[in-house]
Amino acid sequence: MKSLALIKYTQIHRILLLRFILVMALYSVTRWVFFMANKSLFSETTWPGFYKMMAGGLRFDLSALLFINAIYILSQTMPFAFRYNRRYQAFTDKWFLVTNIFFIAINCADIIYYRFILKRTTLTVFSNFKNETNLAGLFFRFVFIDYWYISLLVVVLGVILVVFYKKTKVINPGKQKAAYYYPVQLILMLVVIYFTVIGMRGGFTGTTRPITLSNAGRYVERPKEMAIVLNTPFAIFKTLDQQTFTRLHYFSEDEVAQYYSPIHEPATQKPFRKKNVVVFILESFGKEYFGVYNKKLDNGQYKGFTPFLDSLVQHSLSFKYSYANGWKSIDGIPSVISGIPSLVNSFVLSNYSTNTTPSLAKYLKNEGYETAFYHGAPNGSMGFLAYTTINGYAKYFGKTEFNDDTYWDGVWGIWDEEFFQFFAHSMNHLKKPFLSTIFSVSSHHPFKVPAKYKDKFPKGTLPMHQVVGYTDFAIRRFFETAKKQDWYQNTLFVFTADHTNQTYYKKYQTSLGNRSVPIIFFDPSGELTGLSEQVAQQIDIMPTVLGYLNYDKPYFAFGNNLLDSTAAHYAINTSGNAAYYQMAMGDYFLQYSDQNKLRFFNFKQDEMLTTNLAGKNLPQMDSMITRLKAFVQTYNNRMIDNQISMETN
């Protein structure tokens, strides 16, 4: 009889387990859809490897679902008879369904969003869009127009959850002997709590650290594949406190200074030359879109989508191997104007964003420059207004200052052509010399061009191609106007991108290739020319500009002057979910983590990164690991101590 009673006593627990299995199955479905929808971005992934990731992903799904359903679990396991009440069960049913469908929708959103940021969405996504004034319109467009099929998928999964959930019924065991019922139910509740905590932590012993994003590296061959293993709710939960750095002690303070220092001393006694500086940060302008950098693609037939910039490169100094230091627009801004990369977390969204920071605007302002930042979006979008203001830009020109909504694209901001013309004319009113920086808008989702240019620009193989062609055309029009201005001949123009975007060719889908952005320096005097073979990164832009102008004071930057042949030249960033540090230097590419597998490639000979040289004990690998550790230690410790500016030293 006791065994029969125990079966009745545990019926609610067995139903709870079945419901969890159901939601776990739906998460596996979304993982499969995620992989299939983005398969071109995981071209090296084999089916056996994918099955391993599917199995490994269950661990992360379980952890996320236990966090999501902690209250529901408690509501079903409390040792009280009222939990069988019909109204009580109806309420908890709704709670379970609503919360789980909501997080399934969050998980499905990354099926699309991943291809824009190349990692699972974390908590920072909410900060990314907090300054958008058209958030409701963007949400409506994404959900009901551009990506309606993902919304349909959410509806289908929600219906499946509701239908099968209703097939699992909690049965009231009836009146029981209190002396037997309550002790048994209390023990069962404690057992459930114990295994819930274990599931949340992802381990069975007290010495096991709770799993986090980097643990996904256990199930993959390539860092970017961790996005397949992970799910979005887990990524969000695990970044609730992500902005705290750990103080590192790879080297003593004296030792680390031998390998790396962000303090730059003036290298010349030449007089400072007060050239104007104009910096273009082009939205999503991956290097793949340029013809000049990809002459071997399509058997030498590739033309690219940037005819004007291709022509400008012929008269500029640019770099064959140049890379972004972050994934998002808000990563690009500090990298370019402050020489600060976003390692692990976006610097702008971290606890350290209030640190005293260096910036090109601050340094040039001290030399008598007037400084201005331009962005055709609504003022405050992406937090650019706040960041540029505290970093030395005296003026800000946005949609408000443009003051003509006739040219509003309906989504992000003023069309590039008109805003670039506004930019060119506006600089006539700046006191010379000046530093002006513009962040473009149009080369972005929803991949539209003005109606008057329908079918003017090649559509190529990706939606990005047409809008890249349009922005390139807008730059051509800018130069047509700029050449007529009296400030043009005495100006250094710099071009880069904030990050990459959609890619078609496999060489730009590797962990290194998907960070390839242009870095171009153009001086109408013709003083800067050539296609350099050395590695370059966004954080090198500020020190290179200062070096070119013969800046004669010490300054702080994590990057190096690309014109200095005695400096070490490399690029550092992190993999998709920050489990690996990545470094390109010379001919080699390193992926390194204290906890995960080491990967090392000759990326110039092996652009698809197929042959891991880590086991060959190459001296270049040890040297790069040492330099990388010194860089990361300096970065972390100086962030913690608020020592990332000469103003704090």
Nearest Cα to 327, choosing from 499, 563, 107?
Answer: 499
Band of pLDDT at residue 1, cut at 50, 70 and 90: very low
User: How do beta strands 263-264 and 530-537 pair?
Assistant: unpaired
Per-residue pLDDT reduced to its tens digit, 250-281: 999 899 999 999 999 987 778 999 999 999 99
CA atoms lying within 13 Å on the CB side of residue 1: 3
More confident of the two residues 356 and 476: 476
Give the other-Cβ count within 10 Å of 240's Cβ: 9
Q: Are 286 and 501 in contact (CB under 8 A)?
A: yes
Band of pLDDT at residue 133, cut at 50, 70 and 90: low
What confidence score (pLDDT) does residue 595 get? Answer: 65
What confidence score (pLDDT) does residue 356 get? Answer: 86
What pairs with residue 408 in β-bridges?
414
194-208, 296-310, 517-531: which range is least confident on average? 194-208
Residue identified by tokens 């097939």 is: 167
Residue identified by tokens 């402050």 is: 338
**Backbone phi and psi for residue 125, each to the nearest 5 degrees, phi listed first:** -60, -35
What 3-state DSSP class applies to 399? Answer: helix
Per-residue pLDDT reduced to its tens digit, 429-481: 999 999 999 999 999 889 999 999 999 999 999 999 999 999 999 999 999 99
CA atoms lying within 13 Å on the CB side of residue 399: 21
- pLDDT > 70: what percent of the chain? 93
Structural domains in the chain, sorted by start: 2-237 (no CATH), 277-565 (3.40.720.10)
pTM summary value: 0.84
Per-residue pLDDT reduced to its tens digit, 158-177: 999 999 999 998 888 777 67
What confidence score (pLDDT) does residue 375 get? Answer: 97
Q: Are 229 and 219 in contact (CB under 8 A)?
A: yes
Q: Are 371 and 395 in contact (CB under 8 A)?
A: yes
Nearest Cα to 546, choosing from 332, 358, 360?
Answer: 360
Q: Retrieve residue 399's tokens.
A: 């949609």
CA atoms lying within 13 Å on the CB side of residue 16: 25
In the chain, the N- to C-terminal Cα span, in Å, equals: 78
141-155, 194-208, 300-314, 542-556: which range is least confident on average? 194-208
What confidence score (pLDDT) does residue 44 get? Answer: 87
The b-or-e profile of 301-331 (16+ CB within 10 A means b, else e) is eeebbbbbbbebbeebbbbebbbbbbbbbbb
Could you give the CA distance from residue 256 to residue 264 in angstroms, rounded to a whole number? 15
Supply the mean pLDDT for the chain. Answer: 90
Per-residue pLDDT reduced to its tens digit, 205-228: 443 467 777 778 778 877 788 889
Q: Retrieve residue 222's tokens.
A: 């390539």
Q: Which residues lie below 8 Å from residue 247, measured CB to CB, with a gap of 6+?
A: 636, 637, 640
pLDDT at 325 over 80: yes
What confidence score (pLDDT) does residue 580 get? Answer: 86
Stretch 70-76: mean pLDDT: 92
What confidence score (pLDDT) does residue 5 get? Answer: 52
Stretch 519-548: mean pLDDT: 97
410: left (phi over 0), alpha (psi -120 to 50) or beta: left
User: How do beta strands 370-375 and 434-439 pair?
Assistant: parallel
pLDDT at 124 over 70: no
120-134, 266-280, 351-365: which range is least confident on average? 120-134
Q: Retrieve residue 149's tokens.
A: 């099929």
pLDDT at 33 over 80: yes
Stretch 369-373: mean pLDDT: 98
Q: Retrieve residue 85's tokens.
A: 């009440």
Nearest Cα to 328, choosing from 279, 372, 284?
Answer: 284
